[in-house]
């Protein structure tokens, strides 16, 4: 059974003067442990697709399964719980909370968990160490470099040990050295078993994925698997 199964997903944004058909029939299965890169021109629906997979957005039509469970019909509360415990998000602009320290930002990734204080601390420390931010626990986001902010955001995404990490242009705001380091951390997670989906414009990153999904105008244009 695939971890993610999308069948004929359509998505239309209303609320603007003219409705936008962002997805026009996307069918895609993703197995546990895969590293999928989604590419394609601006506006082709990459972020929309990622947000639907991540349950941030509900598809207008089609079936979307997470671990065999149809997520288009489950109640919002269960959906929020699933999102908080199984899915980690990384965004282009980091999305850290300005007035919280690195430690506190990462701990936000555990807000739906009822672990005791000791467990929480252990998980936050483990996540900080995994991204090499242990020495910056008390810093505020504005006291960090862009690369460090993104590493902090990755730690927040993975602190609860999600089964899947979704990253929307995670290196879009980073220089090449920090971009490579950030991708390295995500790839290491994938090597250890976390399913990884990244949206990227960088060919050098797509090349490292086990599968590249190219989108065009709300549809999947090409989906190619690496043979090795």
| Contact residues: ligand ATP, CB under 6 A | 13, 16, 20, 22, 40, 42-48
**From the CB of residue 158, how many other CB atoms can be counted at a distance below 10 Å?**
23
Q: How far is the CB of 23 from ligand ATP (least distance, A)?
A: 8
Say which entry of ligand ATP, Mg ion, none residue 13 contacts (CB below 5 to 8 A, set by partner kind).
ligand ATP
- Which residues, listed in sequence order, are joined to residue 171 by a DSSP beta bridge? none
**From the CB of residue 157, how many other CB atoms can be counted at a distance below 10 Å?**
25
Whether the CB-CB separation of 128 and 106 falls below 8 Å is answered with: yes
Please say which residue, 47 or 101, places its beta carbon nearer to Mg ion: 47
Q: Would you count residue 194 as binding Mg ion (CB under 5 A)?
A: no
Q: Would you count residue 205 as binding Mg ion (CB under 5 A)?
A: no
As given in the structure block, the two tokens for residue 212 are 């590249």
Distance CA 194, CA 217 (A): 29
Q: How far is the CB of 168 from Mg ion (least distance, A)?
A: 6
Gap between the terminal Cα atoms of the chain:
22
Say which entry of Mg ion, ligand ATP, none residue 11 contacts (CB below 5 to 8 A, set by partner kind).
none
Among 39, 47, 105, 150, binds Mg ion (CB under 5 A): 47
């Amino acid at each position: 059974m695939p971890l993610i199964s999308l069948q004929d997903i359509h998505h239309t944004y209303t609320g603007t003067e003219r409705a936008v058909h962002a997805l026009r029939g996307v069918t895609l299965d993703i197995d546990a442990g895969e590293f999928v890169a989604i590419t394609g021109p601006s506006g082709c629906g990459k972020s929309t697709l990622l947000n639907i997979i991540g349950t941030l957005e509900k598809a207008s039509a089609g079936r979307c399964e997470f671990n065999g469970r149809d997520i288009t019909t489950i109640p919002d509360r269960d959906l929020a719980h699933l999102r908080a415990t199984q899915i980690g998000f990384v965004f282009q602009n980091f999305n850290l909370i300005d007035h919280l320290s690195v430690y506190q930002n990462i701990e936000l990734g555990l807000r739906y968990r009822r672990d005791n204080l000791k467990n929480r601390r252990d998980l936050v420390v483990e996540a900080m160490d995994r991204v090499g931010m242990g020495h910056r626990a008390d810093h505020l986001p504005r006291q960090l470099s862009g690369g460090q902010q993104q590493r902090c955001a990755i730690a927040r995404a993975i602190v609860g040990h999600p089964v899947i990490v979704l990253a929307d242009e995670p290196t879009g705001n980073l220089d090449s050295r920090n971009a490579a380091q950030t991708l390295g951390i995500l790839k290491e997670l994938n090597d250890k078993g976390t399913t990884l989906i990244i949206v990227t414009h960088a060919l050098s990153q797509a090349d490292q994925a086990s599968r590249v999904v190219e989108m065009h105008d709300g549809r999947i244009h090409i989906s190619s698997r690496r043979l090795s």
